[in-house]
């Protein structure tokens, strides 16, 4: 029986599904650095179930020659060197689709929390500082009827655009390397603009681009300088797409009004300057964290692992493989 490592704490029912096919090594809750090194834990394993961490690279693959599949329950796979996996004959899968709507809900919620100063005002109330009503007490920016700027227009970007256009009467502009089909643009009520136009004209910028060398610091000091002083920025994509130090500075100097961040450069560490500015809502990478969605993500990763290692009804045909060519018959 193949042995697999589930490299993160996991739903018991998903572990039970995997146990029908494999000997399963599990991961207890707790800090990852309290565990033995990953290569050691992977000893004798044919497959591994991961999420946005750990890093899977050529060094790890060279240390684990028996590994044949790495299946992630995240949609973003910047922690996995897919090219190195392909050259080692290791199948890689991610988990697209199942988290789109939940992540879009959260992106919208973060944007609204930043615009309407929900967390900042809650801290004020909890601190016992609320003594009277004032016309401008935590007065923020309107969301309805304003201009939503979506940077990155994949599945999640489109789901956010739909919420803005249909639910909140927003004008939607977007920037993406490739334009959507005109019919899709029309259905979303979204207009493609250059990145510069996007930054200059949006009232609320929501960032939903995958992380890569090309998207590193896609929004830094120069880009923030183009934004309106009343604008908000929300990042539910990946840490590193935004230059967190430059953002903290822009927030501190009120060069933009507010931000909502679910992802951070070097997370779980957070840039210390972000912790000291009041006009930012900070959450610990939970945009996909509804229980039904997290279960769907885990089950999709399990489906991929079972199929990639030649088991179950879809043996040899993992549903969301990123490099299915490694399983192609010779």
Asked if residues 318 and 308 have their Cβ atoms less than 8 Å apart, the reply is yes
Size of the site for ligand 8YV (CB under 6 A): 9
Closest residue to ligand 8YV: CB criterion: 52
Q: Which of 74, 111, 172, 256 binds ligand 8YV (CB under 6 A)?
A: 74
Contacts 24+ apart (CB under 8 A), 313-318: 318/69, 318/71, 318/91, 318/93
- The closest of 241, 286, 264, 303 to 96, measured between CA atoms, is 303
CA–CA separation, 296 vs 95, rounded Å? 9
Active site residue 123: no
How would DSSP label each residue in 78-126? TTB-HHHHHHTT-EEE---STTHHHHHHHHHHHHHHHHTTHHHHHHHHH
Among 176, 235, 288, 320, binds ligand 8YV (CB under 6 A): 288
The answer to whether residue 267 is catalytic is yes
Compute the distance between CA of residue 98 and CA of residue 318 in angstroms, rounded to an integer: 15
- Of these residues, 117, 204, 267, 294, which one is catalytic? 267
Per-residue interface string for the shown chain with ligand 8YV, residues 75-114, x marking contact by CB under 6 A: xx----------------------x---------------
Q: Given the rule CB under 6 A, which of 60-68, 71-79, 110-118, 213-221 is the region that contacts ligand 8YV?
A: 71-79
What three-state secondary structure class fits 23? strand
Our answer to whether residue 204 is catalytic in this structure is no
Stretch that binds ligand 8YV, among 40-48, 74-82, 189-197, 320-328 (CB under 6 A): 74-82
Note whether 51 binds ligand 8YV by CB under 6 A. yes
Q: Which residue ranges make up the site for ligand 8YV (CB under 6 A)?
A: 51-53, 74-76, 99, 285, 288
State the catalytic residues. Answer: 238, 267, 285
């Amino acid at each position: 029986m193949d042995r697999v490592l589930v490299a993160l704490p996991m739903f018991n029912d998903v572990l039970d599904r995997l146990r029908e096919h494999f000997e399963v090594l599990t991961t207890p809750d707790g800090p990852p650095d309290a565990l033995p090194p990953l290569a050691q834990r992977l000893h004798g394993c044919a497959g591994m179930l991961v999420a946005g961490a750990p890093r899977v690279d050529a060094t790890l693959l060279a240390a684990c020659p028996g590994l044949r599949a790495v299946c992630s329950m995240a949609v973003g796979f910047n922690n996995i060197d897919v090219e190195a996996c392909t050259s080692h004959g290791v199948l890689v899968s991610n988990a697209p689709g199942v988290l789109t709507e939940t992540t879009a809900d959260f992106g919208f919620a973060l944007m609204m929390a930043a615009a309407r100063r929900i967390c900042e005002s809650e801290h004020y109330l909890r601190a016992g500082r609320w003594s009277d009503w004032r016309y401008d007490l935590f007065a923020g920016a309107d969301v309805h009827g304003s201009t939503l700027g979506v940077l990155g227009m994949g599945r999640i970007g489109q789901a956010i655009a739909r919420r803005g256009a249909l639910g909140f009467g927003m004008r939607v502009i977007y920037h993406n390397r490739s334009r959507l089909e005109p019919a899709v643009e029309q259905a979303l009520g979204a207009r493609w603009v250059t990145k510069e136009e996007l930054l200059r004209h949006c009232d609320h910028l929501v960032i939903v681009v995958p992380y890569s060398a090309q998207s590193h610091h896609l929004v830094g000091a120069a880009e923030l300088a183009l934004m309106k002083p009343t604008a908000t920025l929300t990042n539910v994509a990946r840490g590193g797409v935004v230059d967190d130090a430059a953002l903290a500075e822009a927030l501190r100097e009120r060069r933009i009004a507010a931000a909502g961040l679910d992802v951070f450069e070097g997370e779980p560490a957070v840039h210390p300057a972000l912790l000291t500015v009041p006009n930012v809502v900070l959450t610990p990478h939970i945009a996909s964290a509804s229980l039904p969605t997290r279960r769907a993500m885990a089950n999709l990763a399990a489906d991929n692992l079972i199929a990639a290692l030649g088991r179950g009804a879809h043996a040899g045909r993992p549903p969301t493989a990123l490099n299915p060519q490694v399983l192609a018959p010779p």
